[in-house]
Amino acid sequence: MTMRAGRVRAIFRKELRDYRRNRQIVVSMAVLPLVFSVYPSIELFALPASSSGVLLHKQPLVYMLAIPAIVPAVVAAYSVAGERQQGTLEPVLTTPIRAGELLLGKALAALVPSLAVSYGVLGVFVVAIERFAQPPVASALLTGPELLALVLFTPLVAALAIWVGVAISTRSSDPRVATQLSVLASAPLIAVTTVISTGGFHVTLGLAIGLGAALLLVDSLGWRVVSPMLDRERLITGTRS
């Protein structure tokens, strides 16, 4: 499948313009993760210095990877089904743009606010821990390797959630259904991050590299898997081809 970068860029720019003009979209994306970060943060603030030893054997920061798993799911779920409902997809689909070009442009555009929100919330969380937690707790919690892993895994997890959301969006006739299914599809990712953060199993460097490589592979193949799911005729006319 040949891909024209110009068309991908055009869709990417248009979607980004949407986020820029409608800032409430990005702001509302950040609200839920911020709210759900409050309780664990308070718990961490309340930890006595003596518990830092226990924290060293756990990886609680991995919990923050639930944010890039769930935030882009909503945006990605709307990307095709929402535009279809608005009727704004038809003029685009009547052009020679390929399904892969359209979906890649949308996926890349969804990645930008997702990363902004994920890194933003992570930044707020780190600053709050440094500021309000007991210094030994903060030191045990905010270790270099874990922070680096968070920074590196955030785009990988977000991209996976985006491709799953886009895939569901291309096949859903209603954006509300697409959103609910996409959030549901994020559940396994959230479950994995929760199990790791609560000490269910410890991620070693080798395992992290393996997981990262696997995610990278899945993400890069995402558009190839999702593109054939886009049925131009069904999206325009509502009838299956």
Partner 1 sequence: MAEVSRVTFNLPPHLLAALVPLLVLLVALDVYCLVDLARARSMGGAAKLAWAVVIVFVSAPLGALLYLFLGRDRGRGRPAAPAAWPGRPDVGADGDARHAGARQAPGDRRPTVTTTGLTRDYGGTGLFDVDLVVPDGSVYGLVGPNGAGKTTLLSLLAGTRRADRGTVGMRIGRSRIAVCPDVSEFDDWLTAYEAVDLAGSLVAPAADGQAVGTALTTAGLGDSAGRRVGGFSRGMVQRLGLACALVGEPELLILDEPTSALDPAGRAEMLDMVAAMRGRRTVIFSSHILADVQRIADQVGILRDGRLLYQGSTRELIDTYLQPSWLVRIAGDAAPVAAAMAGRQWATRVEPIGADTIRVDAASIEAGERGIPAVIAACGARQVSCEPAAADLESAFLALTVTGPARSR
CA-nearest of 15, 70, 89 to 186 is: 70
User: In the bound complex, what is the minimum distance in angstroms from residue 190's beta carbon to partner 1?
Assistant: 19
Report the C-alpha gap between 181 and 77 in whole angstroms. Answer: 8
Stretches 1-9, 41-49, 194-202, 204-212: which one binds partner 1 (CB under 8 A)? 1-9
Q: Determine if 9 is a binding residue for partner 1 (CB under 8 A).
A: yes
Q: Footprint of partner 1 on residues 160-179 (CB under 8 A)?
A: 167, 171
CA-nearest of 61, 54, 70, 59 to 40 is: 61
DSSP labels, 41-53: HHHHHH--GGGHH
User: In the bound complex, what is the minimum distance in angstroms from residue 212's beta carbon to partner 1?
Assistant: 24
Q: Determine if 22 is a binding residue for partner 1 (CB under 8 A).
A: yes
Stretches 27-35, 151-159, 216-224, 232-240: which one binds partner 1 (CB under 8 A)? 232-240
Q: Determine if 25 is a binding residue for partner 1 (CB under 8 A).
A: no
Q: CA-CA distances (angstroms) from residue 25 to 36, 77, 126, 185? A: 18, 14, 24, 21
Backbone torsions φ then ψ of 74, nearest 5 degrees: -70, -45
Q: Footprint of partner 1 on residues 133-162 (CB under 8 A)?
A: none
Interacting residues with partner 1 (CB under 8 A): 4, 6-7, 9-11, 14, 17-18, 21-22, 86-88, 90-97, 167, 171, 228-229, 232-233, 236-237, 239-241
